[in-house]
Amino acid sequence: MRGIVAPVTTNEAPRLLSQAPNFRDLGGYRTRGGGRVRSGVAYRSGALDRLDDADLAALRDLGIRQVVDLRTVFERENNADLLPDGADYIPLDVQGDHSTGADLVEVLTDPSRAESVFGDGGATRFMHEVNRILVTGEEARAGYAEAVRRIAAGPGPTVVHCTAGKDRTGWAAALVLELLDVPRETVFADYLASNDRLAGLRAAMRDISEQSGVDPELVWPMVECRRSYLEAAYTEVEEAFGSFEAYAAEGLGLAQSTIDALRGRMLE
């Protein structure tokens, strides 16, 4: 429905996991029709490889039954998730199971290469390209479609995550909220809310850069959520598929029955 436009809100729930600060509920948002997204069904997060006992207990208390990991094989093998008892683990690499993480580490240890790759706006261009690929890449389309099916089918609360929980996970969250008819501005607000939770990532990237003699300002665009990044993804949807509805149906191959099931589970 495209009638009532709900006010833009952000999900300011308490930070439930001390070692995964970007973990948060997708529930609580208003839809265009005046409904509300149900809490306790789907969560978004950064990596779950550093959870402590209290974090794992919190996930158990939330009843987490599925963990959908959007990271590459390099990331998964080097920083394996810690899972609450009884949770199914579903790796859905949306970047082609390659070594992007390894490539980035190599660039960040070489000042001259970092300058050539990320200088003169290169890091920003890189982020725009990443967000376009998340829409039209073959692995991305397959992975995001399966993530939606997993959330829609249950069997219980699901966590979707990548490493920082901002770009790959950000598009997963945008997809789900769009399918639930949450206003576009609210989707952007949810995406940008990651910026307040990424202090640890920014500090780590600054340390890595400075230790390698790389100017931290070169890579700063990669540790932020910027409106233009998500706009690049939406532009790709329009250019490749014509509309978000066509992207869901043709690009992702989502059946209307799956979308109806998602709405049945996640809308109050």
- What would the pLDDT profile of 210-231 be if each residue is shown by its tens digit? 888 888 888 889 899 999 999 9
Cβ-proximal residues to 204 (8 Å cutoff; 6+ apart), any chain: none
CA dist list (Å): 16 to 22, 56, 68, 88, 223: 9, 10, 18, 20, 22
Cβ-proximal residues to 91 (8 Å cutoff; 6+ apart), any chain: 69, 71, 76
| Residue 251 amino acid letter | G
| Residues 74, 179: Cα–Cα separation, whole Å | 31
Tokens 């939606």 identify what position?
Answer: 148
Beta bridge partners of 160: 44, 68
pLDDT in tens, the chain (268 residues): 333 333 444 555 567 899 999 999 999 999 999 999 999 999 999 999 999 999 999 999 999 999 999 999 989 999 999 999 999 999 999 987 555 555 676 777 888 888 888 888 899 999 999 999 999 999 999 999 999 999 999 899 999 999 999 999 999 999 999 999 999 999 999 999 999 999 888 888 888 888 888 888 888 898 999 999 999 999 999 999 999 999 999 999 999 999 999 999 999 9
Tokens 């998730």 identify what position?
Answer: 81
Tokens 């479609």 identify what position?
Answer: 145
What is the enclosing helix (H) or strand (E) of 161?
strand 158-161
Q: What is the pLDDT of residue 118?
A: 86
Domain 24-266 fold is: Protein-Tyrosine Phosphatase; Chain A (3.90.190)
Residue 77 class from Cβ within 10 Å (0-12 exposed, 13-18 middle, 19+ buried)? exposed
Average pLDDT, the chain: 91
Give which of 62, 57, 66 is closest to 39, Cα–Cα: 62
- What would the pLDDT profile of 85-119 be if each residue is shown by its tens digit? 999 999 999 987 555 555 676 777 888 888 888 88
Helix, coil or strand: residue 183: coil
Q: What is the pLDDT of residue 241?
A: 98
Q: Which two tokens stand for residue 127?
A: 């982020």
Q: Tell me the domain boundaries of the chain.
A: 24-266
